[in-house]
Structure 1
Amino acid sequence: MTDNSLSQAEYDAITDAAAHWCMRLHAVDCTAEERIAFEHWRDVHPLHAFEYEAMLEIWEVAGDLPRPEAVTSVARFKQAAPWRTVGIAAAVCALALPLAAYSGWNMGWLPNSYQHFEASDTVRQVTLSDGSQVELNLGSELIFSNYKDQRRVTLEKGEAFFSVSHDLAHPFVVRAADGRIRVTGTKFNVWMYEDQVRVNLIEGSVLVSSNDDLPGDGLRLGPAMQARYKHGDFTPQINQTYPNDNSLAWRSGKLVIDDLALNDALPLINRYLSKPVMVADHSTGTIRLGGIYNIKELNNLVASLPKVLPVYLTRNKEGNPVLNSIPQQTPKS
């Protein structure tokens, strides 16, 4: 978003102000008066809000970049603040100032390339700045940042198929939920719903960790292998996939459910719905479902489930559809 009525100096001043407010609002000593002043500044002009949202994205990318030794030279921002907050603040300012950003790149804690992609109601193919190809499923979002020592993707939500350009000295790292997938060049798929993640390797090899804070690079996957993890898992669950595996059917616009219990099938369906479907109890969750469905028409599937399964639909107080099993009558003797 730009405003042609503003001079370059005025535009730069807004960018600097957005960086300042981003730092202050994340500071531990930010006052209520400062927050009120920020809201006033943000509401004065649409460009203020736009620039601040852009700074928030930079803040998110920079969140875990600086190393303690890298931020000592910028400690003037807030001597009493934790080094992590100081480093992020420096990163936000540096990305607003090209010369400082160049220094940040050489130090290895600022990217020289940043891309943000979303796919809403259609599958989308994108090319990252390193030449890697990514296919995004419906309702998916990712951020790519290119650093001196690694290429980094954050999968914010959804599902993506990666075809990574080979670069042994510049590894490609995907962060999904609490975990991490590390490669140098390969083809793989990452599916994420809430805190559940599933990684399918097609070609090459990857290292999968279920918790980015744990030491080590994780467990190695070979072709036709799958890793699953969720929040709290110490290590991923690893298993072999089969030749008829349908987990990548979304690339053809399909969702294949192969005789799965509703407890396992609903996360695959709910990824595409604005209101996730719930089950009323454990017995309902064990009812099995199968079929091939168009990923753009899954809202219709929800309404049709009572026609194909022994269930009826209700809604909870949040408005979510709830599946309830129909009690089976015991035959009279």
Structure 2
Amino acid sequence: MTQNPLSEAEYDAITDAAAHWCMRLHAVDCTPQERLAFEQWRDAHPLHAFEYEAMLEIWDVAEHLPRPEPAAVAPIIRPPVKSWRQYAVAASVCALALPLAAWTGWNLGWLPNSYQHFAATDNVHHVTLGDGSQVELNLNTELTYSNYKDERRVTLKKGEAFFEVTHDASHPFVVRAAEGKIRVTGTRFNVWMYEDQVKVNLIEGSVLVTSNARLPGDGLRLGPSMQARYKHGDYIPQISQTYANDTSLAWRSGKLVLDNLSLNEALPQINRYLDKPLMLADNSTGAIRVGGIYNIRELNSFASSLPKVLPVFLTRNKEGNPVINPMPQQPAKN
């Protein structure tokens, strides 16, 4: 947790780069050197691969859109790279307005017949997906839903969501989160994501969890009261059992429960709610333990309260993030 978080401008730059590489890798004149440069860029940060996969999904949809006859085409103005995502989505919507194109794209599995975007900022938000599934979105959460012929697909872009999935064995429900995915037919489960870390808690039914959607196989199966965790670079998820006193779903009641966790464990749970993520001065600071029950809407005041309950003091780094520092040890008296 000592690594500085990315700024909004840096996130925008990653999106721009993902759009650039998506276009270059599909170009006929793409060189081996460019492909090598792309691989180096993709592997440099977990968000690079995540943004590229999201851009590739849009490309795959737009690539199969019907093209108008040349005589009817006005002079083409190439959109700036930054607007590529909006351009591709708009093109997809236009295609869906054409009955024949929509019918063909649906039957071939290229295009969804419905697309929904949801976001929750300051309040927990309850939504109904196009298939009737119910989803509860935690604060600062964003996801999309697309209904394809062969699967119902949710992309969790950030945050946390609790799913009650309508059962349909012939039409699987797939949640993509960071590099992995969760595949179900009908069940109740929770997905938490912060940066490249993902945690899946199963309440009812069963799910298959894979830590990297590009790897072969369906992943590991969870049963009720089981949990899976994964992060960037994990070949398989880490599986564990949850118990009756598990507090992972306390957010649905507006609470965050920290049960004597180290700051290394606690900060990912806290930081997803903060405007400015908390940082650690060094690795030893992360071993300090913290507990308590907090209102998720009031966590921006969490940092200022820490010196009152822990042997720490706060500073700020050059990006303005609060940094937790351990209090100096008093020399022993002879």
- With the shorter chain as reference, the TM-score category is 0.7 to 0.9
Q: Which moved more, 1:142-151 or 1:89-98?
A: 89-98
Contact 1:61/1:145, CA 8 A, preserved across alignment: no
Q: Which structure has more RCO (C-alpha within 8 Å, separation ≥ 6)?
A: 2
Q: Could you list the runs of 4 or more consecutive aligned residues of structure 1 that deviate by over 2 angstroms after TM superposition?
A: 23-29, 58-66, 70-74, 88-99
Question: Using the alignment, how far apart are the partners of 1:194 and 1:182 within structure 2?
Answer: 21
Deviation per CA, 1:203-224: give whole Å up to 9, x if none: 0000000000000110000000
Question: Using the alignment, how far apart are the partners of 1:313 and 1:295 within structure 2?
Answer: 21
CA distance 1:197–1:204, shift in 2 (3 Å): same
Matched, 1:194 2:190: no
Q: Which residue of the partner structure matches residue 234 of structure 2?
A: 233
What amino acid is aligned across from residue 182 of structure 2 in structure 1?
A: I
Question: Using the alignment, how far apart are the partners of 1:25 and 1:280 within structure 2?
Answer: 36
Where do 5+ consecutive residues of structure 2 fail to align?
1-18, 28-53, 71-87
What amino acid is aligned across from residue 178 of structure 2 in structure 1?
A: A
Q: How does 1:142-291 map to 2 (within 5 A)?
A: 142-291=143-292
Q: Matched residue of 1:216: which SS?
A: coil
Deviation per CA, 1:157-187: give whole Å up to 9, x if none: 0000000000000000000000000000000
Larger Rg: 1
Deviation per CA, 1:257-289: give whole Å up to 9, x if none: 000000110110000011100000011110000
Q: Matched residue of 1:274: which SS?
A: coil
Deviation per CA, 1:203-257: give whole Å up to 9, x if none: 0000000000000110000000000000111000000011100000000000000
Q: How does 1:94-109 map to 2 (within 5 A)?
A: 94-95=95-96, 97-109=98-110
Q: 1:102: Cα distance to partner?
A: 1.8
Q: Matched residue of 1:131: which SS?
A: coil
Tell me the C-alpha RMSD between the 2 structures: 2.8
What amino acid is aligned across from residue 274 of structure 2 in structure 1?
A: L
Q: Which residue of the partner structure matches residue 309 of structure 1?
A: 310
CA distance 1:326–1:111, shift in 2 (3 Å): same
Q: Matched residue of 2:174: which SS?
A: strand
Q: Which residue of the partner structure matches residue 33 of structure 1?
A: none
Q: How does 1:315-330 map to 2 (within 5 A)?
A: 315-330=316-331
Contact 2:66/2:95, CA 8 A, preserved across alignment: no
CA distance 1:96–1:271, shift in 2 (3 Å): same
Q: 1:62: Cα distance to partner?
A: 3.3
Q: 1:25: Cα distance to partner?
A: 11
Question: Using the alignment, how far apart are the partners of 1:120 and 1:285 within structure 2?
Answer: 28
Deviation per CA, 1:45-80: give whole Å up to 9, x if none: xxxxxxxxxxxxx967534569xxx96998x99xxx
Q: 1:99: Cα distance to partner?
A: 2.5
Q: Which residue of the partner structure matches residue 19 of structure 1?
A: none
Q: Which residue of the partner structure matches residue 113 of structure 2?
A: 112
Question: Using the alignment, how far apart are the partners of 2:313 and 2:109 within structure 1?
Answer: 56
Question: Using the alignment, how far apart are the partners of 1:307 and 1:100 within structure 2?
Answer: 63
Query: Taking structure 2 as the reference length, what is the TM-score of the superposition?
Result: 0.75
CA distance 1:222–1:113, shift in 2 (3 Å): same
Q: How many residues align?
A: 270
Query: Taking structure 1 as the reference length, what is the TM-score of the superposition?
Result: 0.75
CA distance 1:130–1:255, shift in 2 (3 Å): same
What amino acid is aligned across from residue 307 of structure 1 in structure 2?
A: K
Q: Which residue of the partner structure matches residue 13 of structure 2?
A: none
Question: Using the alignment, how far apart are the partners of 2:215 and 2:272 within structure 1?
Answer: 28
Residue 58 of structure 2: which of 47, 62, 84 is its match?
Answer: 62
Q: Which residue of the partner structure matches residue 31 of structure 2?
A: none
Q: 1:92: Cα distance to partner?
A: 6.8
What amino acid is aligned across from residue 255 of structure 1 in structure 2?
A: L
What amino acid is aligned across from residue 282 of structure 1 in structure 2?
A: N
Q: 1:332: Cα distance to partner?
A: 1.1
**Identical amino acids, percent of aligned pairs:** 70
What amino acid is aligned across from residue 320 of structure 2 in structure 1?
A: G
Contact 1:62/1:92, CA 8 A, preserved across alignment: no
CA distance 1:119–1:282, shift in 2 (3 Å): same
Q: Which residue of the partner structure matches residue 294 of structure 1?
A: 295
What amino acid is aligned across from residue 148 of structure 1 in structure 2?
A: K
